[in-house]
Structure 1
Amino acid sequence: MFRITARTVLELGSELISSDIIAFYELIKNGFDARSKTGVEVRFDIPLSRGSYQRLAKEVSSGGNLVELKKLIISALAPRASAAAVDGFREAIEAAENSEDLQDRLAEAQARYNTIVVADTGSGMSLDDLERSFLVIGTPSRKREVEAALRRGEREVPYLGEKGIGRLSAMRLGERLRVETARVEDSRLNFLEIDWQAFADIDAMLDQIPVSPTVGPHKPSPTWSGTSIIISNLSENWTESRVREMAEYDFARLTDPFADPGERPRIAIFWNGERKAIPIMPSALLSAAHARVEGCYSVVDGSPTLTCTIEALDLGFAHPKEREVITLSVEDLQSAMIGRDRHIEDSALRSVGPFSFEAHWYNRRRLSRVDAIGEQRAVRELQEKWSGIMLFRDRFRVFPYGEDEDDWLELDRRALRRSGYTLNKTQFIGRVSISRTANPMLVDQTNREGLRITPEQQVFLEVIRYAVQDRLGAFMRDVERQYKNQKVDLSDAQAQVTRLEDRAKSAIRRLKRLTPPEGDEAIEDLQQTLFEFTEFAARARQRIAEVEQESRQMIDMAGVGLMVEVVAHELARASENALKALDRLRSKDVPDSLRPQFRTLQAELKSVSKRVRILDPMSVSGRQRTEVFALDELIRDTIEAHEAQFDRHNIRVFPDLPDRPVRVRAVKGMIVQILENLISNSTYWLDMRADREPRFKPEIRITLESGPPTITFEDNGRGISPDNREQVFKAFFSLKDTRRRRGLGLFIAREAAQHNGGTLTLAESINPETGRLHRFILELPEGAQL
């Protein structure tokens, strides 16, 4: 059987209660858990500040006239402190018989009469409650009731706290604790006193420290009930300015500031009898936001749905107020939040439970006077004070989310990699609301510093990041593109291309070290392919520079950049796969065994070469040139170029092409770009479905008709929600996971179709099996066919 040393309690308290505000938070929650009828009051009674005490203690230690020293100490006592504290302090000083006695009495009075009291008028505790519950660390009673409420499916949580360790919070604030409490049926008060210093004895066991409750005097009134936690021998230097600052910031954010003030739990702070105001966040501040996103994550009949409403109100240039509502069904959430890699199981999308959030964005440089707040400076200061996206469970704060030093949504980190709208955390005022019963898997860490890392917590974070980082940011950039002709920053895509090139070069170097002389021919082929691609990438980058000032910069820059990335990825993947094959044969001294591996390598290289050749019309020389070509032949070449990829993903392709050539006049590179994008997207969504349905057989059907020339591209993958039929063509809209999320492909493809006088649409016909849309239609104008 384990035995516990007394000092373990001190270690627990210091580890689990990490800050003063956390300590107050735990004590205040206990008051509300006791069903306090008048809220919770926190009273600082400080007759002598620590600074004054240290100065006076130095005076006393240096000697002097005893009478004069007593007068000096008594004159320094704060007149606004409670009469009981001031009188007790004075009596202790006046009773001193000499300088040494005065020094001891001053120290004892300082420890005894400077107090913090956390009081409630709740149910209180009986003598038996103190013995069997309060003195039991980790008491299970509340946890049992919370778990029972979860099993019953109740909407309201019976208790805010359930771990049974909140009482250690008093240890953070002071060395001595006195509990005064009573239930309605008690006639007298029940007392409990603890000196935490007694637990510091390194040789003492926990059961050797005597702590037991006692019965005190009669209650203030026969019907009174409640609890007062009285903390003395304070650990910190408490001043009026510090308490005021905590009231204005920490205590103001302790409960949900977005809630109606009349419905917020009452918390009152007093300094030496004077109440310190806890400010309320003015609604006018939220109305002054320049953009916002609100979201609701619901789980109905086991099926999760995310609905986001995004608004661009005033982005600093002339534009109407823009509003967008997007809805993500379970299929979309599986892709956007979990993706193909499946590090998290899909079930976490359901078990995370429902929650809501809102985030209001401010361009701090453009904040101006608000009538209900004041001049520009006052508005900026108020926005800074309330900045941060905070997390609340059952209306009470979950720390440290929303603190100045906390970047739980990685807004600052992402902002460093972006130009344009940098969504820094200080630009937001927001909240996320969860509950203990609706979100049982979102549980605090024991030290109250954030949620435990679970699959549900990861889904929770991904949903909010997607809404705030991706959807709001993309919507703002799209509004800017529409009304301000904003150019697209492709620095991320270019950096990705460079990384992929480096991977391929590194793989080739390693292949050279591993490969015997008879493999030189394959290595040379691979190097030549890399050289061709490097030239292609260089020409693409040159073209990016050339079109930077052109009006069609979106199509040219983004289109070339994305295609370069596709080819770079294929090249890197091919070389790395070949390297893995050779690695498996390193220990075998049989040269003939390498031949099949090199045949595989040659096939991979041919695939990449075809990809480069099919993308040749995207080069500088052919990028914008209108030419006559056979559309059916282009489709065949594109399918052939992807044969290795289709085989790798077990995708069957069914082309339905006419017997006679369909010759058209168009920009060939743009048609290639459209087909490449459709194939890339299709492969992703087919993989998503195949990964979740073992018997699924992925298929792509491509049909070409004439009069007018029309390509119908359809797959049997996850499909697209009818709600997002037009959204998928918007710039930066993507439902892929974070690693693959770009959101430019279909936008560029539609622009390319329109440049050729045609249209690219998602047909309204709903697949009866999935209830979603699967069919893209590219229609060129009648006059394009020859």
Structure 2
Amino acid sequence: MFRITARTVLELGSELISSDIIAFYELIKNGFDARTKAGVDVKFDIVLTRRAFLRLKGTIHGKASLPDLKKLIKDELLPTASEAAYGSFVDLIDEATTKQELTEKLDQAQRRFNTITVTDTGSGMSLEDLDRSFLVIGTPSRKKEVEAALARGDKSTPYLGEKGIGRLSAMRLGERLLVETARSTDKKLNRLEIDWTEFSNVDAMLDQIAVAPTKGGKKPSAEWSGTALTISDLVENWTEARVRDMADYEFARLTDPFANATTRPRIAIFWNGERIGIPIMSGALLDAAHARVSGTYELIDGAPVLTCTFEALDLGFEHPRERQTVKLTEEDLQATIIGKDGPVEDSALRTIGPFSFEAHWYNRRRLGAIDTIGEQKAVRELQQKWSGILLFRDRFRVFPYGEDEDDWLELDRRALRRSGYTLNKTQFIGRVNISRIANPQLLDQTNREGLRETSEQYVLLEVLRYAVQDMLGKFMKDVERQYKHQKVDLSDAQAQVTKLEDRAKNAIRQLKRLTPSEGDDAIEELQQTLFEFSEFAARARQRIAEVEQESRQMIEMAGVGLMVEVVAHELARSSENALKALAHMKGRDVPDRLRSYFNTLQAEMKSVSKRVRVLDPMSVSGRQRSEVFALDEVIRDAIEAHHAQFKRHKIDVITDLTTRPLRIRAVKGMIVQIIENLISNSVYWLDMRAEREPSFKPKISISLESDPPVMMFEDNGRGIAPENRDQVFKMFFSLKDTRRRRGLGLYIAREAAMHNGGTLELDEERDPETGRLHKFVLELPAGAQV
């Protein structure tokens, strides 16, 4: 049987409550859980600040006389303190007859008459409640009621707190606690006094500390109910300036500042009898945002749906007010948030429950004066004050999200690597709303410093990062591109290609050193393919540099950059897989296994080499011109170039091409680009479905028609939601996971089709099995056919 030491209580209280505002939060929350009728009052009654007390205490044993010392002490007392506290403090000082006694009396007065009182007008507690609930650490009653509400499917939680240790947070503020409480049926107050210093005895057991409730004095009125927690022997220096600062910042963010002032939970702060205002969010400040995103995550018929609305209001150049809404269904969220090899299960997308969010973005340099706020400086200061994306549960703050030092959405870290708009956390004012009932798996850590690391917490973070970091930033860049004719930034893709190329070279060097003679041919094939690829990448880089000033050609070269990256990935993957397999081979069957593996490696290298040659028309120097070629032959070459990849992913390719060559006049490199992008996307999405459905058989179908030339490209993967039929062609729109997200492939493919006088569309016919769209249609003009 466990026995508990007395000091364990101190660990649960002051050691787990990391800041004063969290201590206040716990005590205030208890008032609302008691169904307070008039909110919660926090009253500071400070006669002598702690700093002044320590200074005066050091002067007592100096040369000054006792009367002079008493006068010196009284001069430091705050006349604004309550009459009772001020008078009692003075009376105790006057009782001293020696300097030693003055020291003792000053200590007593400081401990007893400087107080913080947290008051509510809730249900209150009876004498029995104090004994059986308040004095029971980890009391289960609220936990049981919350779990019952969850089981019933209630719309709101009966309590904000349920751990049963929030009351211990009082020790963070002071060494002594007086509880005065009563139910409406009680005739007198019920009283409980606790001296937390008694629990610091390292040898004492918890049951050796005598704490018991008693009957107190009269209630304020016969019908009154509520609780007053009076904390004394304060441990920190409380001043009016500090309390005003806390009211202006910490208390202002303790409950949802975006909420209507009439519905916001009432918290009143008093300093020595004077009410200190807690500011609310200025609607004019939110209206002054330069861009914003708002979103809802819902469960519709049990399936998750994320809806995000993006707005570009004023990005610093002339443009109309742009607005875009994106809706992601469960299939999209599995891909975007979890991905092909994510760390959590798909089920977390459902078990997280519904939530909502909004984030308002500001270009601080462009913030100007606002009539209802003031001049530019005042507006900037106000934006700085409210900056951060805060998390609220049932209208109350979840710490530390949104604090100055907290970057929970990694906005600052990502901003360092981002070109274009820098989405730093200080540029946002935002909130996220969750609830105990709707989001039962989003639980606080015991120390109230963030949510516990669960699969649902991962989903919450990834959804918010996707909406704020990726989609909002890309939406803003897309608006800029439309109205400022910005070029496509290829720096990320080019850096990735260099990294992949280096990985392949390193793997080949190690393979040559470790490989026995049986694998010489395969390694030679691998090295030759790397050489071909390096030449191809060099020509592509040269081509990009040549057309850097031409907008249309820059789009074309962005496609080249993406395709180079795809091939580089294949090359690095194959070479590293060979090295990994070699390192793990043991036993007598090594020669046979080596021979078999190197045969596979050779086949893969031939396939990659073929892809390099197929893609090479995209990278030739000089402006690309139209030429006559057979479209069916280009498709066959592309399929052959992907043979090893299709085999690896078990993809069946079905073609229905024309019996006679379908000759067209077009820019060959651009047509190759379209086909490559469609194949690349299909492989990814087919993999997504295959990973989640073991019996699934992936398939790609490509067919051709003539007069006019039309290519239909279809797969049986996850498909695209009808709502996103047009979105998928927009620049930077992507539903792939973070590591694979570019959002350029289909945009570039459509641009390439338009450049050749054609169209690339997503057919609006829904697949009867998935209810989603699966077929892309490339149509070239009738005049393109030769």
TM superposition score normalised by structure 2: 0.98
SS in 2 for 1:615: helix
Determine the structure 1 residue equivalent to 2:221.
221
User: In the TM superposition, what are the counterparts of 1:519-558 in structure 2 within 5 Å?
Assistant: 519-558=519-558
User: In the TM superposition, what are the counterparts of 1:222-621 in structure 2 within 5 Å?
Assistant: 222-588=222-588, 591=591, 593-621=593-621
Give 1:513 deviation, angstroms: 2.5
Give 1:556 deviation, angstroms: 2.9
Distance 1:763 1:412 in 2: 40
Distance 1:84 1:535 in 2: 88
The answer (yes or no) to whether the contact 1:616–1:622 under 8 Å persists in 2 is no
The answer (yes or no) to whether the contact 2:6–2:201 under 8 Å persists in 1 is yes
Comparing 124-133 with 490-499, greater Cα deviation is found at: 490-499
SS in 2 for 1:60: coil
Determine the structure 2 residue equivalent to 1:666.
666
Distance 2:498 2:196 in 1: 60
User: In the TM superposition, what are the counterparts of 1:20-35 in structure 2 within 5 Å?
Assistant: 20-35=20-35
- Whichever residue aligns with residue 781 of structure 1, its letter is P
SS in 2 for 1:263: coil
Distance 2:729 2:8 in 1: 61
The answer (yes or no) to whether the contact 1:514–1:586 under 8 Å persists in 2 is no
SS in 1 for 2:551: coil
Distance 2:240 2:167 in 1: 25
Q: Is 1:92–2:88 an aligned residue pair?
A: no
Distance 1:537 1:572 in 2: 14
Comparing 270-279 with 493-502, greater Cα deviation is found at: 493-502
Identity among equivalent positions (%) equals 75
Give 1:39 deviation, angstroms: 0.6
Output one character per residue of 1:729-775: Cα deviation in whole Å (capped at 9) or x when no partner: 00000111111111000000000011111111111111111111111
Distance 1:506 1:13 in 2: 55
Give 1:594 deviation, angstroms: 2.7
- Whichever residue aligns with residue 148 of structure 2, its letter is A
Give 1:8 deviation, angstroms: 1.3
SS in 2 for 1:552: helix
Distance 1:676 1:590 in 2: 37
User: In the TM superposition, what are the counterparts of 1:711-730 in structure 2 within 5 Å?
Assistant: 711-730=711-730
The answer (yes or no) to whether the contact 1:623–1:669 under 8 Å persists in 2 is no
Output one character per residue of 1:363-413: Cα deviation in whole Å (capped at 9) or x when no partner: 111111111111111111111110111111111111111111111111111
Give 1:621 deviation, angstroms: 3.3
Comparing 263-272 with 491-500, greater Cα deviation is found at: 491-500
Give 1:340 deviation, angstroms: 1.2
- Whichever residue aligns with residue 120 of structure 1, its letter is D
SS in 2 for 1:754: helix
Residue 490 to residue 2, structure 1, CA distance change in 2 (3 Å): same
- Whichever residue aligns with residue 249 of structure 1, its letter is Y
User: In the TM superposition, what are the counterparts of 1:65-214 in structure 2 within 5 Å?
Assistant: 65-214=65-214
- Whichever residue aligns with residue 498 of structure 1, its letter is T
Give 1:591 deviation, angstroms: 4.0
- Whichever residue aligns with residue 561 of structure 2, its letter is G
Unmatched tracts of structure 2, length 5 or more: none
Distance 2:13 2:339 in 1: 41
Give 1:554 deviation, angstroms: 4.0
Distance 2:448 2:229 in 1: 21
Give 1:49 deviation, angstroms: 1.1
- Whichever residue aligns with residue 496 of structure 1, its letter is Q
Distance 2:707 2:548 in 1: 37
The answer (yes or no) to whether the contact 2:539–2:621 under 8 Å persists in 1 is no
Give 1:471 deviation, angstroms: 1.5
Determine the structure 2 residue equivalent to 1:53.
53
Distance 1:725 1:554 in 2: 25
Residue 342 to residue 167, structure 1, CA distance change in 2 (3 Å): same
The answer (yes or no) to whether the contact 2:23–2:173 under 8 Å persists in 1 is yes
User: In the TM superposition, what are the counterparts of 1:655-734 in structure 2 within 5 Å?
Assistant: 655-734=655-734
Give 1:553 deviation, angstroms: 4.6
- Whichever residue aligns with residue 187 of structure 1, its letter is K
- Whichever residue aligns with residue 542 of structure 1, its letter is Q
- Whichever residue aligns with residue 18 of structure 2, its letter is S
Give 1:496 deviation, angstroms: 1.3
The answer (yes or no) to whether the contact 1:615–1:669 under 8 Å persists in 2 is yes
Give 1:525 deviation, angstroms: 2.2
Distance 1:411 1:247 in 2: 27
Determine the structure 1 residue equivalent to 2:753.
753
SS in 2 for 1:44: strand
SS in 2 for 1:169: helix
Give 1:198 deviation, angstroms: 0.9
Q: Is 1:10–2:6 an aligned residue pair?
A: no
Q: Is 1:629–2:614 an aligned residue pair?
A: no
The answer (yes or no) to whether the contact 2:47–2:77 under 8 Å persists in 1 is yes
Give 1:587 deviation, angstroms: 4.9
Distance 1:441 1:518 in 2: 55
The answer (yes or no) to whether the contact 1:522–1:598 under 8 Å persists in 2 is yes
The answer (yes or no) to whether the contact 2:632–2:657 under 8 Å persists in 1 is yes
The answer (yes or no) to whether the contact 2:518–2:594 under 8 Å persists in 1 is no
Residue 40 to residue 151, structure 1, CA distance change in 2 (3 Å): same
SS in 1 for 2:231: strand
Distance 1:9 1:554 in 2: 66
Distance 2:33 2:579 in 1: 62
Comparing 188-197 with 248-257, greater Cα deviation is found at: 188-197
Distance 2:554 2:35 in 1: 60
- Whichever residue aligns with residue 594 of structure 2, its letter is L
Distance 2:768 2:590 in 1: 55
Output one character per residue of 1:649-696: Cα deviation in whole Å (capped at 9) or x when no partner: 111111111111111111111111100100011111111112222222
Output one character per residue of 1:544-568: Cα deviation in whole Å (capped at 9) or x when no partner: 2222211225423311210110110
Comparing 107-116 with 61-70, greater Cα deviation is found at: 61-70
- Whichever residue aligns with residue 717 of structure 2, its letter is G
The answer (yes or no) to whether the contact 2:488–2:555 under 8 Å persists in 1 is no
Root-mean-square deviation (CA, aligned residues, Å) is: 1.3
The answer (yes or no) to whether the contact 2:544–2:554 under 8 Å persists in 1 is no
Distance 1:591 1:649 in 2: 26
Distance 1:672 1:65 in 2: 98
Residue 761 to residue 118, structure 1, CA distance change in 2 (3 Å): same
Give 1:323 deviation, angstroms: 0.7
Output one character per residue of 1:1-50: Cα deviation in whole Å (capped at 9) or x when no partner: 11111111112223321111000000000011111111101111110112
Distance 1:79 1:730 in 2: 67
- Whichever residue aligns with residue 448 of structure 2, its letter is R
The answer (yes or no) to whether the contact 1:623–1:667 under 8 Å persists in 2 is no
The answer (yes or no) to whether the contact 2:45–2:116 under 8 Å persists in 1 is yes
Residue 65 to residue 674, structure 1, CA distance change in 2 (3 Å): same
Determine the structure 2 residue equivalent to 1:764.
764
Distance 1:709 1:571 in 2: 34
Residue 200 to residue 346, structure 1, CA distance change in 2 (3 Å): same
Give 1:593 deviation, angstroms: 4.7
The answer (yes or no) to whether the contact 2:255–2:392 under 8 Å persists in 1 is yes
Give 1:522 deviation, angstroms: 2.5
